[in-house]
Structure 1
Amino acid sequence: MLKNLGSAVLFQLGWFACVLGGNSPLLLLAGGALLVHLLFISRSMAEVRLVVVVCLLGSAVDSLLLNAGVFAFKQPGLLIPFWLILLWALLAITLNHCLAWTAKPWWRAVLLGAIGGPLSYYAGQRLGAVQFPLGLWPTLLGLSVLWAGLFALLITCSRCQRLR
């Protein structure tokens, strides 16, 4: 229970540091949250592998969306900003802890992805971290469909990494 609460608090702290700070020194706070998790909450190589897998997968998906014109960031580029890559790492630390309850039955992961994914991007948009060139509702509806499957895949990845 305490580890779940710890992962939730660290994720929220990191989320705000990333979204509000962008590529600023506030990222040290987000990196610190990730490090505290890996050193004190889950000291396993499986967790480190999960962070790497989620970062690669999430960064690829968001970079594709960026290049498709779904997202726009203050910094131009073909890849998403570093703060968003770090945010993917922070999401990874929740999968086996405070969000582990979404693993079974499978529809929980689908439902949380369909609702939580778009809400996180919406909050980021409201705080000025990202823009939606295609419009608010088309973007949120598309993200809902995408995240329904993506979050279920991430939960599956977390289970696979635990079994290795």
Structure 2
Amino acid sequence: MARLINYLSFYVIWIICLWSAVHDRQATALIVTLTYLTLHLKLSKKPRFDLLLIASLTLLGLIQDTILIHTGIIVFHGNPPITPIWLLCIWALFGSTLDSSLFWLQKHPLLAALFGAFGFPICYQIGVSATAATWLIPDPQAWLILALIWFFLFPALFYALRFVEKRFGLGQTGKRSQS
């Protein structure tokens, strides 16, 4: 049930973040996201690990989308020079899903790669369609670039997650292993 709530919460708040971008209400995205993440961490069996995931994915999003801005692939509403707050909120939310509602993809790297190659360009396109962003290159080219990035990045995130879990002795239950 917790994974279903995580999944549904991600998409509901994702829509709120997108709405906040289009309507210049980034504070709304930030407040809703921080409220959800606070609750998520309070209920987590491994809050420090989840916080590490959330912080890491937020940083990754800052870097990746800022690179997309500065390479002339995309511009976000308001033309910020770095990844906007509302999108960092989505990245933080995404961090809360990797070891929760998306955990099942950890053991299926090819499926994660395909999901990444198709799913993430669609998410960006929804942002473009909602006027939260604009492609600066032809749509097919933007989709191809994002598909290539996410084909490799999404399974790599699960590999990194498993590595960190093993390195710090965390298992699926969130308790340190005895070995």
Same fold (TM over 0.5): yes
Counterpart code for 1:56: L
* Counterparts of 2:86 and 2:163, CA distance in 1: 26
**TM (normalized to structure 1)?**
0.92
| Shift in Å, 1:44 | 1.6
Unaligned stretches of 5+ residues in structure 1 = none
1:109-162 C-alpha deviation (Å, 9 max, x unpaired): 111111111111111111111110102111111111111111112222322333
Match of 1:5 in 2: 4
Counterpart mapping for 1:29-68 below 5 A:
29-68=32-71
* Counterparts of 2:63 and 2:162, CA distance in 1: 21
| Shift in Å, 1:89 | 0.5
Does the Cα contact within 8 Å between 2:106 and 2:158 map onto a contact in 1? Answer: yes
Counterpart code for 2:110: W
Match of 2:16 in 1: 17
Counterpart mapping for 1:77-92 below 5 A:
77-92=80-95
3-state SS of the aligned residue for 1:72?
Answer: strand
Q: After superposing the two structures, state which structure 1 stretch, 75-84 or 35-44, moved more.
A: 35-44
Does the Cα contact within 8 Å between 1:49 and 1:161 map onto a contact in 2? Answer: no
Unaligned stretches of 5+ residues in structure 2 = 169-179
* Counterparts of 2:147 and 2:52, CA distance in 1: 26
Q: After superposing the two structures, state which structure 1 stretch, 139-148 or 39-48, moved more.
A: 39-48
CA, structure 1 residues 77+49, in 2 after alignment: closer, same or farther (shift >3 Å)? Answer: same
CA RMSD of aligned residues (A): 1.5
User: After the TM superposition, which segments of 4 or more aligned residues of structure 1 sit over 6 Å from their partners?
Assistant: none
Q: After superposing the two structures, state which structure 1 stretch, 115-124 or 19-28, moved more.
A: 19-28
* Counterparts of 1:138 and 1:57, CA distance in 2: 22
Match of 2:28 in 1: 26
3-state SS of the aligned residue for 2:133?
Answer: coil
* Counterparts of 2:163 and 2:17, CA distance in 1: 28
* Counterparts of 1:126 and 1:120, CA distance in 2: 10
Q: After superposing the two structures, state which structure 1 stretch, 36-45 or 67-76, moved more.
A: 36-45
Identical columns (%): 26
Match of 1:98 in 2: 101
| Shift in Å, 1:13 | 1.7
**TM (normalized to structure 2)?**
0.84
Does the Cα contact within 8 Å between 1:72 and 1:133 map onto a contact in 2? Answer: yes
